[in-house]
Amino acid sequence: MSDSRRRVPPGLWRDGDFRRLWVGQTASQLGEQTSLLVLPLFAVLTLDAGAGQAGVLRAVGQAPVLLLPLFVGAWVDRWRTRTVMVLTDAGRALVLGAAAVSGFLGLLGLPALLVVAFAAGALSVVFDVACQASLVRLVERDQLVRGNSVLEAGRSAAQIGGPALGGALVALLSAPTAAAFGALCFTWSVLSVRRIRRTEAPQKSSARPPRVWRRVHEGLRFVAGDALLRIVCLASAAFQFSLAALMTVYLLFLPRELHLSGAAVGLALAATGPGALLGSVLAARLPRRFGHGVVLVSAAVTADGVFLCVPALHGPPAVTVPALLAVNLVFGAGGQLVNVTVMAVRQAVTPDGMQGRAAATITFFGMGPALLGSLFGGWLAQEWGLRTGLLVTAAGMMLSPALMAASPLARLGRVLAG
């Protein structure tokens, strides 16, 4: 965190509302990262779920990304983002708290786990869209790159702590205990975000606002009409489909093929966090020096290509865990560099009154295919085996940087002053 503070204009850290947003978003991400690991591990290690069931669980958790974002974006553009974030994280705290209680009582079977995954996924969609729109309403345009970098640094810290704590709690105590920890994190987020004082002015064009379908159509038309945002959607769709397929196989491959414990799985995945922290720092510098396009393509090739090494891993944990730490470190750094840079491009070319709908449209088309990817990954693991399935899905990850390299996005210069 100290590195981030040195790189942010003093005005940002003196802004109490920005600090509260940062704390709330970081706590929320810590809860989300914990739950993303705990739910699959609960299914695999406690309920002995098979590859197909693990794929269905991930798909159910990702289904809201396909069903909700367009309507959420139209709604968020008309309401205070603080209120939306408080309500959604309060909901996630209740959902995970209920899961923890059910788990302690021995009542949390696979059907209930599917309900928890869907509810948490739906609330996550709403929170993420509101959080992206909130930053634009809180800071000046010339602070967006650094503001995004700081928020993503908080996300990186959560990626370090979430999987590590979740895996350790599952291994040393129980999955319900890890779920309870996630609920506490979401409660912490609520307490911080609700203290944001700045009055927002969401865009309301008339006393009688347009119907929701019209607002959704306006968001779709805006994104479809912008060459840069179109390719962001396509590249995101290819990436999210392949990543969802890969992660479904990956979370089975680590405990069953490499024979890693829950704590070792959490440790390996936690390496994404330090990498993402590095990526956040680089995102505040590299696009200004080399241009956004070059940075995007180079980072995507590096981050996505590193997973091609994983199917070749063999041996005891003393050999495989350090290799996995290196893979996840590189993936976290490159992936975070891509995330921050893409977000800066999207925010720079989008008017204030369209921020929520643009973010939601890109989320819908970019992340919606993850549901199909999870099902595809589960099918691959079941029919072709874990090692072959992992190789196929890792190769599919390279489609995203290929699309960016062949588009105007690759030739993009600096879109924002630093």
pLDDT along the chain (418 residues), means of 10: 42 70 83 76 68 71 69 67 83 87 77 84 82 68 64 68 67 74 88 78 50 68 80 87 89 84 75 78 79 86 90 86 90 86 78 70 74 84 87 92 86 58
What pTM, to 2 d.p., does this model score?
A: 0.62
The pLDDT value given to residue 63: 73
The pLDDT value given to residue 391: 92
The pLDDT value given to residue 2: 39
SS3 of the chain: the string is CHHHHHCCCHHHHHCHHHHHHHHHHHHHHHHHHHHHHHHHHHHHHHCCCCHHHHHHHHHHHHHHHHHCHHHHHHHHCCCCHHHHHHHHHHHHHHHHHHHHHHHHCCCCCHHHHHHHHHHHHHHHHHHHHHHHHHHHHHCCHHHHHHHHHHHHHHHHHHHHHHHHHHHHHHHHCCHHHHHHHHHHHHHHHHHHHCCCCCCCCCCCCCCCCCCHHHHHHHHHHHHHCCHHHHHHHHHHHHHHHHHHHHHHHHHHHHHHCCCCCHHHHHHHHHCHHHHHHHHHHHHCCHHHHHCHHHHHHHHHHHHHHHHHHHHHCCCCHHHHHHHHHHHHHHHHHHHHHHHHHHHHHHHHHCCHHHHHHHHHHHHHHHHCCHHHHHHHHHHHHHHHCHHHHHHHHHHHCCHHHHHHHCCHHHHCCCCCCC
Q: Report the CATH number of the 13-197+211-411 domain.
A: 1.20.1250.20
